[in-house]
Structure formats: C-alpha cells, structure tokens
Amino acid sequence: MASETVTYFSKSIATGLSATSAYDLGRAWSKVYLEIPALSATVSTQSCGVFIYAAATLDGTYRPIAFDTNVSFPTAAAWNVSAVVSNIMHRIPDGFRYLKVELTSTVSNTTVFNIICKD
C-alpha cells in the first residue's frame, strides 16, 4: 500500500475579528478538509456561519465557494456550526490553491483553523 502525503496549513483569527489571512496550499490537492479545534463565536444566535473563499492568485479577488452542486446555479452558503464548538472537521471543495476562511460573526478568543490536504 502506498503512503499518502498529508499536509497541514494553519491560520488563526484574532479575538474580535472574523476572517483568516490567505492560505497558500502550494498547489491544488485532491482532498481538502477544514479542521476547527475550538471555536467560540460572539453571536446572539446559537450558530455561526463558516464560508470558504477561493481566488486564482494569492492577492486576487476571493469569492465564496458554492457547495450545492445539485442545482443549475449554486449559491454560496455558509456551513453552519454551533457558536461554541470543538474538534470538528468538514470536507471542503478541492482544486483550489488559495483559500480564506470567513465567519458570519467575530470570535471571542483567538481561533485556529487548520486546512488538511492529501492526495
């Protein structure tokens, strides 16, 4: 059995902010996951939306990735998580090199977001 390379990229969102800086994954990968070790969002509701943005270049225009591929015109939609959550992973669309994570609310504590890639 051949071993697969697994690569981790980490960025954090500082207290009071809602987005990471850009991730440069070095290349496009065939499997990409977002890991949230711990999140505490400052929201008045029970959930926080997580958007994944992609661009063609590191300094390019970042646009939200549409997750729904079962419709003619998919729309960008947030992946909703509990406002306080830990140890979750979510598969995100692959094929992009430059990504950002943005929340629909700010974080109450500095929060790390890991992108895990493998082929």
pLDDT higher at 66 or 12:
12
Q: What is the pLDDT of residue 84?
A: 83
Confidence of residue 3 (pLDDT cuts 50, 70, 90): low
CATH of the domain spanning 6-118, picked from 2.60.120, 1.10.3470, 2.60.40, 2.40.50: 2.60.120
Per-residue b or e along 7-44, where b marks 16 or more CB atoms closer than 10 Å to that residue's CB: eeeebebeeeebbbebbebeeebeebbbebeebbbebe
Predicted TM-score (pTM) of the model is: 0.83
Render pLDDT for 18-75 as a digit per residue (tens, 0 to 9).
Answer: 999 999 999 999 999 999 998 888 876 677 888 899 999 999 999 988 765 555 555 5
- Please give the average per-residue pLDDT across 66-90, as a whole number: 71
